[in-house]
């Protein structure tokens, strides 16, 4: 344990994850809509090999990932639930998709035809959901003409080698409370369900039709959506930090490090590359062994602070690849080995990934996804600490 925690580490709190899941279940307490947990990008940097099994133990039956490697990882760590790949998989992987019982997103008719041909060559059936473009502009069959969209889905439905089980779309601005954006989201919903209604009138019924992302599930819930795809909210972060949502969420990840060195800087002393910080008085400073190679952004240079012994310690100088320096003047009992909180709570103070994101103009998603693999994850659950092998 001491060796593992001697530099920098991320703490993942499964009890907080359970709190967030319970909160999301509470606001969508409707038997017609089930939760699909989005665990792409290594569960947003939290570690899919631990997060997904825990969520499955809480009754989750549906997961979404970005690619086939992520899907295979879930299967190999014992996940039995349905797994939907939201992104692209080359059609010649049809056999692998069938082998691992993975649902593949179909991005269009041409792709569907190629996947069908490869599946027939393998003698297998690939489960699929068709992407419908209602205004996101990335992938999917256009739903601007509902009947034309339904006709395209019907042609996919009849292809050999693939089983079309569902259709989905993605909202572009569901996390906005601007009137124009609310209207846009409602327009996306209308296009999506109009296309489904046309398909139903053609005698084709799909098991799943889903349009709700994290913000959509909370702010634009619609019982016609059989699934709600919860991603960032699961991890206790916001799609938009300005939103006031009717849920009490807790950040699942804390980021911590240990002081490696403490020294005194005299007035006029410089810190870091480029000499961007010059002490204007005699100060005490601490070096912390974490940097942009760990996912702690260089944009935080001379910007923001960390928490030490319940106090704010401003970052001075540039964030380096492996180290930062902070001003610890007036903070008691700082020495080598003192724990530093970069994301999380310490006493009455707190730093969230969303707060860091605001400091350098990004979103909380990027902050947690960016915590690199060289930062070990320590998992806290009801039974104590779990250390990944």
Q: How does pLDDT run across 77-89, given as a tens digit for each residue?
A: 999 999 999 999 9
Q: Which of 40, 189, 191, 256 is catalytic?
A: 40
Residues 260-268: contacts with CB within 8 Å, 24+ apart?
260/7, 260/287, 260/288, 260/289, 260/323, 260/336, 261/286, 261/287, 261/336, 262/286, 262/287, 262/328, 262/334, 262/335, 262/336, 263/287
Instruction: Please check whether residues 228 and 276 belong to one and the same domain.
Output: no
Q: Decide if 155 is inside a domain.
A: yes
Task: Write down the pLDDT at residue 2.
Answer: 46
What is the count of structural domains for the chain?
2
Nearest to 189 by CA among 214, 170, 164: 170
Q: Are residues 182 and 137 in the same domain?
A: yes
Residues 266 and 376 in one domain: yes
Last residue of a domain, one of 173, 203, 235: 235
Candidates 76, 207, 267, 273; catalytic one: 273
Same domain, 277 and 214: no
In a domain, 8, yes or no: no
142 and 230 fall within a common domain: yes
Provide the pLDDT for residue 19. 95
> Would you call 40 a catalytic residue per the annotation?
yes
Over 50: is that where the pLDDT of 1 sits?
A: no
Clarify whether 261 is annotated catalytic. no
Residue 190 falls within a domain, yes or no?
yes
Q: What backbone torsions phi and psi does residue 39 show, to the nearest 5 degrees?
A: -125, 30
| Tens digits of residue pLDDT in 44-78 | 999 999 999 999 999 999 999 999 999 999 999 99
Query: Residue 179 belongs to a domain with what CATH number?
Result: 3.20.20.10
Is the same domain home to 290 and 368? yes
Q: Look-up: residue for tokens 């502009």?
A: 137
Does the pLDDT value for residue 206 go beyond 90? Answer: yes
């Amino acid at each position: 344990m001491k060796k593992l925690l001697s530099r920098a580490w991320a703490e993942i709190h499964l009890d907080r994850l359970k709190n967030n899941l319970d909160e999301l279940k509470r606001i969508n307490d409707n038997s017609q809509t089930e939760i699909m947990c989005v665990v792409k990008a290594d569960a947003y940097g939290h570690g899919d090999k631990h997060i997904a099994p825990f969520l499955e133990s809480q009754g989750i039956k549906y997961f979404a990932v970005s690619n086939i490697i992520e899907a295979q990882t879930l299967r190999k760590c014992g996940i039995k639930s349905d797994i939907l790949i939201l992104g692209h998989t080359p059609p010649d992987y049809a056999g692998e998709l069938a082998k691992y019982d993975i649902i593949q997103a179909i991005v269009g008719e041409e792709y569907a035809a190629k996947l069908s041909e490869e599946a027939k060559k393998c003698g297998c059936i690939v489960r699929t959901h068709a992407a419908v473009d209602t205004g996101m502009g990335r992938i999917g069959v256009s739903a601007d003409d509902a009947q034309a969209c339904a006709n395209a889905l019907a042609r996919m439905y009849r292809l050999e080698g693939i089983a079309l089980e569902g259709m989905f779309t993605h909202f572009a601005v569901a996390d906005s409370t601007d009137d124009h954006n609310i209207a846009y989201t409602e327009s996306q919903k209308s296009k999506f369900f109009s296309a489904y209604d046309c398909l139903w009138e053609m005698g084709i019924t799909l098991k799943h039709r889903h349009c709700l992302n994290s913000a959509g599930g909370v702010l634009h819930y619609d019982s016609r959506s059989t699934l709600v795809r919860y991603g960032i909210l699961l991890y206790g972060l916001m799609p938009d930090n300005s939103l006031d949502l009717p849920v009490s969420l807790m950040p699942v990840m804390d980021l911590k490090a240990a002081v490696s060195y403490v020294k005194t800087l005299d007035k006029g002393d410089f810190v870091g590359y480029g000499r961007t910080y010059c002490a204007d008085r005699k100060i005490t400073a601490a070096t912390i062994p974490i940097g942009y190679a760990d996912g702690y952004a260089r944009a935080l240079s001379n910007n923001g602070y960390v928490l030490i012994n319940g106090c704010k310690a401003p970052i001075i100088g540039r964030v380096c690849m492996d180290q930062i320096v902070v001003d610890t003047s007036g903070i008691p009992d700082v020495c080598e080995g003192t724990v530093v909180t970069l994301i999380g709570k310490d006493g009455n103070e707190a730093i969230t990934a969303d707060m860091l994101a605001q400091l350098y103009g990004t979103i909380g998603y990027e902050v947690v996804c960016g915590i690199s693999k060289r930062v070990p994850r320590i998992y806290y659950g009801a039974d104590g600490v779990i250390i990944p092998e």
